[in-house]
Amino acid sequence: MFQSFVAESSPDQGPARLARLRQVMTAGGLDCWLVPRADMHQGEYVAPCDARLAWLSGFTGSAGFCAVLAQVAGVFIDGRYRVQVKEQVAEVFTPVHWPEIKLGDWLIEQLPAGGVVGYDPWLHTIDEIGTLTTQLAGKGFTLRPTANLIDPLWTDRPAPPSAPFVAYPLENAGESHEDKCARLGADLAKAGHKAAIITLPDSVAWLLNIRGHDIEKNPVPQSFAILHDDGRVDLFARPGKTDAIAAHLGAQVRCLPDTGFAAAIAGLTGSVRVDPKSAPQAVADLAQAAGVEIAKAGDPCILPKARKNSTEIAGMREAHLRDGAAVVRFLAWLDAGAPKGGLTEIDVVTALEGFRRETNALLDISFDTICGTGPHGAIMHYRVTEGSNRGLAPGDLVVVDSGGQYLDGTTDITRTIIVGTPDAEQRACYTRVLQGMIAISRVRFPKGVAGCHLDALARYPLWLAGQDFDHGTGHGVGVYLCVHEGPQRLSRLSDVALEAGMILSNEPGYYREGAFGIRIENLIVTIAAPSLPGADARAMLAFENLTWVPLDRRLIDTGLLSQGERDWIDRYHADTLRHIGPRVDGAALDWLKAACAPL
């Protein structure tokens, strides 16, 4: 099993570790020390050796940080983790609602006069430290970079991941790394930059057509790179990781030990592009100390990586057909078993991973499956453990959000199903969520439109009923890379214009705390809109669907649908049967035919 059901931390561990950290802070003349969740690469997941926030506090969420002072230790968490943090941390930690409460404002209240705030400059971005510096300016406090204070205390700290990097085949990548490096190097030269420092592992993975096994669920190679304006690349990784890919990388890429990264920064000349949103403050400090001129701009790989080429899109289509067949077999199994009783959330997650494994192509799951039945469905980032495991009961809505990592693509799909017979309210809410999902699926929009313009379409049916959901409508997705990938999103916060080739999730939901949750999620790819009779001569974009798995027709209230929505559902189901039918047989095929019948 890729997924584990063991609770990863306990509140017991925190108090003694916090006391030891405070002793070290006092000895070092620090009034506060910051412990972020992030590692040097700012990814969503961290390796066990970098899980410092979890080691200290017990909190295992994917975002947040702890500000430790002599009298108080604030654990800053966003809306997703308000429930989880209470279960995971001891009373010596104080949950702080972030970003509503800013770190700087909180520190101004808590710090003694003239207080000194220490931090590890490799674990905070340039923007984070810049913002904190601005917030604390003129208050008499000092920000001080220090060595990491946790690492010496963490006596049984796991070893860093050591698995070697692997080459990502050209038949999956669609463009050689030589061409990508030459293309991006020329862009740097045109902008007057001599080099770009790249600290995001999924950028390195895309640029050099390599993958790694350093982080669960995300096949990224933990490394740094410097791209020069002539297309040469210096790749910095732990010794041994790059030996097997030296031939793939060729003479244009120099493989160097990660310990040489700092000296390499100091040796750069001319204008050097650095992304302040992701690069560690240490990079800026090293450059400044050496007199290297930093040009703050986005990581040059992010947009080219987001515009998937035709080979990557073809791979994603195939991965979704393979994954769709596994999910259809799972749903047929679930529909047969759930009404009989006795199934739990863990049974469901285990069975789903089993069906995906039977494809013989599953390399990992793309995130821990979220399976929430009844009230658990209302917890958006619920991860079942042996302690929380709940049985599926008649009348429960079950939210199952899951995905797979395959060599040709990454999947992410949510289906909500009913155990037995739904009531009218469950059907009405489900249908409104589905109408929002259909609206995004059908939309045509002019070039230049961003996620912030489209997000409301997914909410409109809910808004009319006085309802809403508290997450974005969709996120970008990588190709055998991170399931959450920027920069494009369907969110009122995203002003990145959508472009052909960008892949997104389309996942509206509705959550009634203590009662039920609903989410429906397909992946979509942005395409040039097909021609339309009578349309103006204007460049328009649209979405092509990637995910082919039936929607639970028992939950659809056809009386709420327009004719266009009805037609869309019937066409979606006919296409699903056509795509997936040849890939399943027996009881699963019988189930699929019934599930895909016209409304």
What number of CA atoms fall less than 13 Å from residue 31's CA on the CB side? 14
Least distance (Å) between residue 507 CB and Zn ion: 5
Q: Are 214 and 222 in contact (CB under 8 A)?
A: yes
Residue-by-residue DSSP string for 473-533: SEEE--SSS-SSEEEEEESTT--PBP-TT-EEEE--EEEETTTEEEE-BEEEEEEEPPP-T
Least distance (Å) between residue 527 CB and Zn ion: 20
Q: What are the structure tokens assigned to 219, written together?
A: 């096949």
Least distance (Å) between residue 546 CB and Zn ion: 12
Indicate the residue among 262 and 399 with the shorter CB distance to Zn ion: 399
Least distance (Å) between residue 401 CB and Zn ion: 4
Indicate the residue among 50 and 353 with the shorter CB distance to Zn ion: 353
Indicate the residue among 275 and 401 with the shorter CB distance to Zn ion: 401
The alpha carbon of 159 is separated from its chain's Cα centroid by a whole number of angstroms, namely: 25
Indicate the residue among 414 and 494 with the shorter CB distance to Zn ion: 414
Nearest alpha-carbon partner for 235 in 260, 218, 216: 260
Sheet holding 404-406, edge to edge: 364-365, 404-406, 409-410
Q: How far is CA 388 from CA 1, 89, 338, 384, in A?
A: 19, 17, 19, 6
Beta carbons within 10 angstroms of residue 58's beta carbon = 23
Indicate the residue among 521 and 552 with the shorter CB distance to Zn ion: 521
Least distance (Å) between residue 413 CB and Zn ion: 6
Indicate the residue among 58 and 474 with the shorter CB distance to Zn ion: 474
Nearest alpha-carbon partner for 242 in 228, 224, 229, 263: 224
Residues in the chain: 599
Indicate the residue among 235 and 380 with the shorter CB distance to Zn ion: 380
Residue-by-residue DSSP string for 174-229: SS-HHHHHHHHHHHHHHTT-SEEEE--HHHHHHHHTEE--SSSSS-----EEEEET
Indicate the residue among 431 and 505 with the shorter CB distance to Zn ion: 505
Least distance (Å) between residue 484 CB and Zn ion: 7
Which spans of this chain sit near Zn ion (rule: CB under 5 A)?
401, 412, 414, 505, 521
Q: Are 596 and 577 in contact (CB under 8 A)?
A: yes
Q: Are 219 and 202 in contact (CB under 8 A)?
A: no
Least distance (Å) between residue 234 CB and Zn ion: 34
Least distance (Å) between residue 83 CB and Zn ion: 19
Indicate the residue among 299 and 401 with the shorter CB distance to Zn ion: 401
The residues, ordered by sequence, that sit 6+ positions from 169 with a Cβ below 8 Å of its Cβ are 209, 407
Largest interatomic CA distance in the chain: 76
Q: What are the structure tokens assigned to 381, written together?
A: 């980032």
Least distance (Å) between residue 583 CB and Zn ion: 22
Q: How far is CA 76 from CA 47, 376, 380, in A?
A: 21, 24, 19
Indicate the residue among 128 and 412 with the shorter CB distance to Zn ion: 412
Q: What are the structure tokens assigned to 583, written together?
A: 């890939």
271 three-class SS? strand
Q: Are 284 and 126 in contact (CB under 8 A)?
A: yes
Indicate the residue among 229 and 521 with the shorter CB distance to Zn ion: 521
Least distance (Å) between residue 203 CB and Zn ion: 21
Least distance (Å) between residue 412 CB and Zn ion: 4
CA distance 252 to 233: 6
Indicate the residue among 281 and 505 with the shorter CB distance to Zn ion: 505
Indicate the residue among 229 and 368 with the shorter CB distance to Zn ion: 368
Residue the block writes with tokens 């990097």: 165
Nearest alpha-carbon partner for 42 in 278, 217, 219: 278
The residues, ordered by sequence, that sit 6+ positions from 16 with a Cβ below 8 Å of its Cβ are none
Least distance (Å) between residue 13 CB and Zn ion: 31
Cis-peptide, bond into residue 487, ω within 30° of zero: yes
Least distance (Å) between residue 430 CB and Zn ion: 17
